[in-house]
C-alpha cells in the first residue's frame, strides 16, 4: 500500500520434485500490509518427498516493486483473462477481487482493477453472499465462478469473491487489487474450495506444494517468485529443514524457543508459530516483544511498533529461532526495516506486538521479515498424513546466477 513508513497492518479473516515435474513460476512485486488475527482451526490430515527441479517448463510474468515489506503478483480471471494484482497469502484461503458492480460509495473499487462479468464468456453466476472481516477493515460481496490464469496455467475453474463493498480506506491506497489465499480449506469462508485445491483437483498442478523466494533490495524491480508445484533449489542453500504443521489451516508449526543475543530467551517452554507470507513483520506476545526491544534498544512508536536508531544497526545482537531442532538466525540487517525518507533513513523494527485470545495464544507469526532470509516450502502432503513447512537459508541474488 502507499503508506507512510508506519505499520498499518492488514488482518486475515476473523470468521471463519521428481524429474519432469512442471513448476509454475509467478514473479512477485512488493507492497505493504501486515499482521493478522487468527481463529481456532480444524485438522487436515504423509508429506511427499521434497520436489526437485528436473527439466521444468519455466513461466514468468513481468514484475515491479513497491517498498520492501510485502509481495504480490499477477493473475487473470475470465475469458479473455482480466488481469489483477493479488497478494499470495498463506494466512487465508479465499480468492477475491473488486467487482465492476461494486457499490458507488465503495471508494477502493474506483482505484483498482474491477472484474467485469459481462466481458467474460466463461463466467458463471453463483450469487452466494460472502463477507470477510479484517483487523483494519472489512469487505463483502458475492461469489462467482470463472476461469483462473496463473503463471502458465490457464482454464482452471475456480469460485472467487467479487467484492461489492470495501468500506476501509486502507484498501484505497493498496497497490494490489485483491488476495489469493494459500491456506488450508478450514480457513475458507462459505466453504469455498481454495484455488490451490482446485488446481490439483483439475490435474493442472501435480502436487499441492509451493514455495516463495522474496528479494530484499527496495531499489530492485524484482520482488521475488512464487513457485507452484515444488521448489527451486537455486533459491536456497540446502538442506531444507522440515517442520510438521500442527494445526492445518494457517501454516502453524511448533517453535522451541527464541534467543536474543546471548542474554534473553523468549518462548522459553515452546510456543506456536505461523509461517505467513501475508504478514509483513515477525509478531509475538506484547510482553515478550517489549523484552526483545529492551534488549535491542527499540523505541516504542505506535501500539505494537518500534523505532530503531539507524546508527546502532551494526551493534545490535542477532535474534535466533529454534524450529525443528535447527537455529534460524537473523542479524540486525535482516530484522531492521530501513526506509528512505528524503535524504535520510527511517529504521523500523521488524518485530511487532500481537496478543492472541487465550484459546490461540501465545502465538508468534513469522512474516516477511523472516521469510526474506529463509525460503519457505509449503507442502500440504495428503489425507493420510500431515502437512509440513520446509525452511532453508535464501541465496543472495548474485549467488543464484
Whole-Å CA distances, 194 to 166, 178, 181, 227: 22, 15, 7, 17
- CA separation for the pair 2, 249 (Å, rounded): 30
Q: Beta strand pairing status for 363-366 and 271-275? A: parallel
Q: Beta strand pairing status for 178-181 and 95-98? A: antiparallel
- What phi-psi label fits residue 162: left (phi over 0), alpha (psi between -120 and 50 degrees) or beta? beta
Which H/E stretch holds residue 197?
helix 195-201
The residue annotated as part of the active site, out of 89, 206, 232, 379, is: 89
263 CB contacts (<8 Å, ≥6 apart)? 295, 317
Whole-Å CA distances, 66 to 29, 214, 215: 7, 13, 12
Length of the chain: 401
CB atoms within 10 A of CB 306: 23
398 CB contacts (<8 Å, ≥6 apart)? none
> Omega of the bond prior to 345 within 30 degrees of 0, cis?
no
For residue 235, the SS3 value is helix
The residue annotated as part of the active site, out of 197, 276, 368, 379, is: 276
Whole-Å CA distances, 137 to 36, 131, 132, 173, 320: 12, 11, 9, 13, 33
- What stretches of 212-341 show up as alpha helix (H) in DSSP? 286-296, 332-335
Please choose, from the candidates 32, 29, 72, the residue with its C-alpha nearest in 3D space to the C-alpha of residue 339: 32
For residue 400, the SS3 value is helix
Q: Is 276 a catalytic residue?
A: yes
- CA separation for the pair 162, 165 (Å, rounded): 9
Q: Is 89 a catalytic residue?
A: yes
All three cell numbers of 51, joined, read 520436489
3-state secondary structure labels for all residues of 21-43? CCCEEEECEECCCCCCCCCCCCC
What is the set of active-site residues? Answer: 89, 276
Amino acid at each position: 500500500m502507499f503508506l507512510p513508513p508506519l505499520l498499518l497492518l492488514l488482518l486475515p479473516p476473523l470468521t471463519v520434485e521428481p524429474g519432469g515435474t512442471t513448476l509454475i513460476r509467478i514473479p512477485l512485486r512488493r507492497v505493504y500490509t501486515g499482521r493478522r488475527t487468527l481463529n481456532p482451526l480444524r485438522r487436515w490430515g504423509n508429506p511427499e518427498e521434497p520436489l526437485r527441479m528436473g527439466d521444468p517448463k519455466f513461466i514468468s510474468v513481468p514484475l515491479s516493486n513497491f517498498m520492501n515489506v510485502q509481495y504480490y503478483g499477477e493473475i487473470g480471471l475470465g475469458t479473455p483473462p482480466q488481469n489483477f494484482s493479488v497478494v499470495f497469502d498463506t494466512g487465508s484461503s479465499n480468492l477475491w477481487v473488486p467487482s465492476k458492480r461494486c457499490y458507488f460509495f465503495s471508494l477502493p473499487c474506483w482505484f483498482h482493477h474491477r472484474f467485469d462479468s459481462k466481458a467474460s464468456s466463461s463466467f458463471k453466476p453463483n450469487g452466494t453472499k460472502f463477507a470477510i472481516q479484517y483487523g483494519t477493515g472489512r469487505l463483502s460481496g458475492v461469489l462467482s465462478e470463472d476461469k483462473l490464469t496463473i503463471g502458465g496455467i490457464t482454464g482452471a475453474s475456480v469460485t472467487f469473491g467479487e467484492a461489492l463493498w470495501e468500506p476501509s480506506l486502507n484498501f484505497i491506497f493498496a497497490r494490489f487489487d485483491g488476495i489469493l489465499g494459500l491456506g488450508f480449506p478450514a480457513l475458507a469462508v462459505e466453504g469455498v474450495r481454495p484455488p490451490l485445491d482446485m488446481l490439483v483437483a483439475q490435474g493442472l498442478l501435480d502436487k499441492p506444494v509451493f514455495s516463495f523466494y522474496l528479494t530484499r533490495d527496495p531499489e530492485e524491480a524484482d520482488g521475488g517468485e512464487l513457485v507452484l508445484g515444488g521448489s527451486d533449489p537455486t533459491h536456497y542453500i540446502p538442506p531444507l529443514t522440515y517442520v510438521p504443521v500442527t494445526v492445518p489451516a494457517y501454516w502453524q508449526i511448533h517453535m522451541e524457543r527464541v534467543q536474543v543475543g546471548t542474554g534473553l530467551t523468549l518462548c522459553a517452554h515452546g510456543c506456536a508459530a505461523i509461517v505467513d507470507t501475508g504478514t509483513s513483520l515477525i509478531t509475538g506476545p506484547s510482553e515478550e516483544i517489549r523484552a526483545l526491544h529492551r534488549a535491542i534498544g527499540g523505541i516504542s512508536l505506535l501500539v505494537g511498533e518500534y523505532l530503531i536508531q539507524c546508527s546502532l544497526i551494526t551493534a545490535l545482537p542477532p535474534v535466533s529461532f529454534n524450529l525443528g531442532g535447527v537455529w534460524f538466525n537473523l542479524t540486525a540487517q535482516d530484522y531492521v526495516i530501513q526506509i528512505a525518507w528524503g535524504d535520510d533513513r527511517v529504521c523500523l523494527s521488524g518485530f511487532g506486538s500481537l496478543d492472541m485470545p487465550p484459546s490461540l495464544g501465545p502465538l508468534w507469526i513469522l512474516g516477511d521479515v523472516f521469510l526474506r532470509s529463509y525460503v519457505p516450502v509449503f507442502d500440504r502432503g495428503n489425507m493420510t498424513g500431515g502437512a509440513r513447512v520446509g525452511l532453508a537459508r535464501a541465496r543472495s541474488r548474485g549467488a543464484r546466477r
